[in-house]
Amino acid sequence: MRSRFRSDRRLTARMGVTLFLLGLLYVGFVAALIVLLKSWVLVVVVAAGLLGAQYWFSDRVALFAMRGRVVEREEYPELHGVVDRLCAIADMPKPVVAVSDMEMPNAFATGRNPDHAVVCVTTGLLRRLEPDELEGVLAHELSHVAHKDVAVITVASFLGVIAGLIVRFAFYSQIFGGGRRDQNTAVVFAAVMGVSAAVYAISFLLIRALSRYRELAADRAAALLTGRPSVLASALTKVSGDIARIPTKDLRTAQAFNAFYFTPALGRGPSIGQLFSTHPSLEQRLEQLGRISAELGEAAAPGGA
Catalytic residues: 141
- Residue 108, SS3? strand
DSSP codes joined into one string, 184-249:
HHHHHHHHHHHHHHHHHHHHHHHHHHHHHHHHHHHHHHHHHHHS-HHHHHHHHHHHHHHHHTS-HH
Alpha-carbon distance of 38 to 181, in angstroms, equals: 15
Query: Taking a C-beta distance cutoff of 8 angstroms, is the pair 293, 226 a contact?
Result: no
Q: Is 144 annotated as a binding residue?
A: yes
CA dist 305 and 290 (Å) reads 19
The reply, when asked if residue 279 is annotated as ligand binding, is no
Say whether 80 counts as a known binding-site residue: no
Cα torsion at 212, 260, 46, 34 (round to 10°)? Answer: 10
Extract the annotated binding site.
140, 144, 215
Extract the annotated binding site for Zn(2+).
140, 144, 215
